[in-house]
Amino acid sequence: MPKPVIAVLYGYCLGGGLELPLACHLRLAAAEGAKIGLPELDLGTVPAWGGSARLARTVGRAHALARELAAMPAIAVREMLRCIVGAEGRSLEESIADERCAVLATFGTPDPHEGMRAFLEKRKPVFNRDPESRGGRSPGRRG
């Protein structure tokens, strides 16, 4: 693209609202009034539009991983970590493909349903932390 694309972040920039600015050349966030994040883990899944792939490239792996994970759903955490850790050595296209596999790995588990119910009921989600009991597996991830 011949001209720089600049995103100004103010207010709620969550989920897809952050994934779009992550695709821009530059991002400017308001010192006050910006709520920025990828809350997909709270909903039992992972970002679906390149958020994890671009987040690692934008802020670095250490910051991308710096999040409280103890109460998060095990499958979504595992898949998000695979996307972030693997993103450094892969092209953006490969990283986005890995992210799509991660999204598919969370489907069919109770976590997305619990996350959405908790959100609608304005309560903290209670995720089942035992991925083996749910049969969650990563579909065809490239090595």
Question: How high is the pLDDT of residue 120?
Answer: 93
Grouping H, G, I as helix, E, B as strand and the rest as coil, residue 37 is: strand
63 and 132 together in one domain: yes
Question: How high is the pLDDT of residue 143?
Answer: 47
73 and 92 together in one domain: yes
Segments forming the whole domain that contains residue 20? 1-37
Structure tokens at 87: 């993103």
117 and 65 together in one domain: yes
pLDDT tens digits in sequence order for the chain, 143 residues long:
678 888 888 888 888 888 888 888 888 888 788 888 788 877 888 888 888 778 777 777 656 665 545 567 888 888 888 887 767 788 989 988 988 898 898 888 888 888 889 989 998 888 875 545 444 444 444 44
In our burial notation (b when 16+ CB lie closer than 10 A, e otherwise), range 9-23 reads beeebebeebbbbbe
**pTM, two decimal places:** 0.51
Is 99 marked active-site? no
Catalytic residue among 19, 32, 79, 121: 19
Domain count, the chain: 2
122 and 139 together in one domain: yes
48 and 14 together in one domain: no
Catalytic residue among 32, 40, 88, 93: 40
18 and 63 together in one domain: no
State the DSSP code for 38: -
20 and 44 together in one domain: no
Phi-psi region for residue 82, left (φ > 0), alpha (ψ -120 to 50) or beta? alpha
53 and 119 together in one domain: yes
Is 114 marked active-site? no
